[in-house]
Amino acid sequence: MAKNLAIAGITGAVGQEFLQILEQRDFPFKSLKMLASSRSAGKKITFKGVEYTVEEMTENSFSGIDIALFSAGGGRSKQFAPAAVKAGAVVVDNSSAFRMDPTVPLVVPEVNPEAIAAHKGIIANPNCSTIIANVPVWPLHKANPVKRMIVSTYQAVSGAGQAGMAELFEQTKELLDGKEPTCEKFKYQIGFNLFSHDSNIGPNGYNEEEMKMVNETHKIFSCPEMAITCTCVRVPVPRAHCESISLEFSESISPDEVRQILSAAPGVTVMDDRENNRFPMPIDATGQDDCFVGRIREDESVSGHRGINLWVVGDQIRKGAALNAVQIAEKLL
């Protein structure tokens, strides 16, 4: 059934991706309201042959709206999502504002779609790195429970939005021209460089991004006993995050079994060509819906043939954000 739809944060990287995905998937909507900050109000955006005027998001923006896709930042989600719910909309929120709220479902549709039914007006979209890890790890965990997961991420600048991508491009030009790089979005040079993820470090020495992956995976998998540790790094890649994932299983498992499980898993493409040393790269996943998996091999440091190493690549703006939210909205239909 077609719904009245609103997109909050329409002018951002994820907001623009929402439009592409809604069109590509032919999402049924009766009306569409495009919302942003006062800076963007009045801009014109053409979607499916119709010109829309961007409106400033206020608490009165959601009258008659059935589903609101939010990607406007945590502060604005906390400010405006309750008003949307009060007006009768279901909010699918892409920020971290509600993810760990025990009353809010945190959903990856390939993993826990049943959680959607418990919503009280808000459904949270997980962190991009969490989604990209969870899509391939979940079917393996179902087949053979994972006891421990070690993740190292190589995160594209798209995780910092359009400003992050623009800064990488600008710095690359500056450095090639022999100029000092302009650092505005990021504290440190990202062109021809990488650094520990640019989120706050907690008292335990982990940054916020690392703890999001730990806590969100526990919630999504309903498996608080799984041991998880992460190291998150920002790399000079425009789009698509990469993750090195080492898994310790409860029982023995072979690389062939892993390939077989992942080949049948929704949202996963196996790209594991050892003979030609051809494995997933960011340019493979950019613009694609699936998470790509390769380097599937036994972790020989784990006893009993219970360890597997994976290399996972996924489009951060797409499956890591906009697509996951649209898939949730499709389930709501």
Which residues are identified as catalytic?
Answer: 128, 241
What is the crossing angle of helices 208-221 and 128-143, to 10°?
Answer: 40
For 63, other C-beta atoms within 10 Å of its C-beta total: 12
Inter-residue contact 125 to 328 (CB < 8 Å): yes
3-state secondary structure 46-108: EECCEEEECEECCCCCCCCCCEEEECCCHHHHHHHHHHHHHCCCEEEECCCCCCCCCCCCECC
Distance of CA 122 to the CA centre of its chain: 17
- Token readout for 120 is 């009280």
Give kind and range of the element (H or E) at residue 38.
none
Q: Which neighbouring-strand residues pair with 294? A: 311
Q: 159 φ, ψ to 5°?
A: -65, -20
CA atoms within 13 A on the CB side of 123: 27
Inter-residue contact 81 to 103 (CB < 8 Å): no
Inter-residue contact 287 to 318 (CB < 8 Å): yes
Q: What is the DSSP letter of 270?
A: E
Q: 284 φ, ψ to 5°?
A: -75, -40
